[in-house]
Chain A
Amino acid sequence: MANPIVSPVVGWFAKVGRAYHITLEHAGALGILAWDTIVALVTLKVRFRDVLRQLHIMGVQSLPIVFVTASLAGIVTSQQGGYQLISSSPRYVLGTLVVQSVVLELAPLLTAVVLVGRIGARITAELGTMVVSEQIDAFKSLGRDPVAILAAPRIVAGVLTMPLLVGFANVIGIYAGMLMADLDGGLGKETFFYGARLFWHSWDLFYGFSKSVVFGLVIPVISVHMGLRTRGGAEGVGLQTTQAVMFMILTILIIDALFPPLMLQ
């Protein structure tokens, strides 16, 4: 007989155990995927043409959306910053605020989130479709390595593209913020950049850059991994894609939260 009090507790532990098991399984598979990618790269099995194609899709084609996101981030920070600053603080502090918010947090994080939607979801759906239509099996049956052909070019392109896109977002965000400060409060360009320079550390740029490299790795690795695990037809592809998006966003937010204790001490 099941004890009515004990069984929910046991059930809860079983759930935790299962979640733990699933997490470990994902972590293991992600590690293997990353390792296989490195092996494919070192053994020169990855074709330059494939990487170039992914660089174009991920990088060049993402410029418009990154432009819009970064501009809005700069504008909003500038307006809200102006609103928050008390009248006694010097007005050039707004420059500090905008530049640091954009470089440390907004540009890397928002660009990553945009790329999860634009690139991550696309990769999972693309590879998931290839799994359920047996194209991955076909590659293997013909002695081709799906990691070298499909995974590695996407992962390499992600790592290369993300820092460049974040650099672009930095410039756009800061300029949009500066223009807004001028329009909104008549804060001149010189004053804005005076404030920005006053508290500027080169470290901040490195900090944002490091984030972008990690995010640029996380997005393609998770989306490829999830895509390759797709099961069960078109419905499976849809389900897997939404799960992959959740998985990527959560991972990015958690990693983002780990950065200050690790790099801003």
Chain B
Amino acid sequence: MISYKNIHKAFDIPVLSGVDLTVETGEMFALFGPSGTGKSVLLKTTLSLIVPDIGDVEVDGMSVYDGPSSNLEKIRRKIGYVFQHAALFDSLNVYENVSMGLPEDEIARMRTADLSRRVWEALEIVNLEPREILSKLPSELSGGMKKRVGIARAIVGRPEILLWDEPTTGLDPINTAAVERLIQRLSKELEVTSLLVTHDVEGGLHICDRVAMLHSGTLRFCGTPQEFRDSPDTVVQAFVDRAAAIAALDMAIV
């Protein structure tokens, strides 16, 4: 379970002004919102990549900002983070990138064969052929492949929670569908809790148990996909309609 409690964050201007959100264990949760509303900022507060000005985050009852500093280390091991542009390490090949997903002390205790088996498995889960890409550098991969390697790095440590920052943005419709299926499958097969930040409202409504919408620094909506579609709130409606229009456009292009 992840609980965001009264999160405030301002850079030059306020970005988040009092966000409260709880994602239950085992749930698939989608967070929508226009670009620049602070969805990524909110995700980053979970691992103290960005520190909120006010507020706290609790992961499985452990406080990130109000507890002992060892909490953060424990929480990091529970969470796999999928970054928007994959954020692969440029100077490391695919094998090294994915193995970075395991904690240092665990790697030290592992035999090389076990390590490569773990990396191999993670790549197979994201439908990549390990033999072909293990020794490639990120610069030699396509956008869709980079995203998958990023996902492999996030899941290799067998996290209980996955945070997805726009995993389908910038992908073509075919890759989008593939990544969506992957998210669904991982959540079911590995029984992980997923918090998914996405632009793709149709996809999010389709695969998630609950959804929320961030607007002007606070949560404008939180509920089931059906409630979201039926919401009388004009801001929510505008978002649903526009998303539907874009989805239709995508279909037309395909």
Contacts and interface: CB of A to CB of B under 8 A. Distances in A.
Interface in B65-90: 73, 76-77, 79, 81, 83-85, 87-90
Interface in A123-147: 129-130, 133-135, 137-144
B115 to A, nearest CB: 15
A135 B91 CA distance: 11
Contacts of A142: 76, 100-101, 103, 153
B44 interface: yes
A143 B85 CA distance: 19
Contacts of A138: 81, 83, 87-89, 153
Interface of B: 44, 47-49, 73, 76-77, 79, 81, 83-85, 87-90, 100-101, 103-104, 153
Contact of A143 (B84, B87, B103): B103
A144 B87 contact: no
A233 to B, nearest CB: 11
A139 B77 CA distance: 13
B84 A134 contact: yes
27 contacts: A129-B90, A130-B90, A133-B85, A134-B84, A134-B87, A135-B87, A135-B89, A135-B90, A137-B49, A138-B81, A138-B88, A138-B89, A138-B153, A140-B47, A140-B48, A140-B49, A141-B47, A141-B49, A141-B79, A141-B81, A142-B76, A142-B100, A143-B73, A143-B77, A143-B103, A143-B104, A144-B104
B9 to A, nearest CB: 15
B76 A137 contact: no
A190 to B, nearest CB: 52
* Binding site secondary structure of chain B: loop
Interface residues of A, number: 13
Nearest to A141: B81
A215 B154 CA distance: 40
B163 to A, nearest CB: 9
A48 to B, nearest CB: 16
- With most chain B CB atoms within 10 A of its CB, the pick from A134, A139, A140, A141 is A141
A74 to B, nearest CB: 37
Contacts of A133: 85, 87
Nearest to A45: B104
Nearest to A231: B11
B76 A141 contact: yes
Nearest to A53: B91
Interface in A165-205: none
A139 B97 CA distance: 10
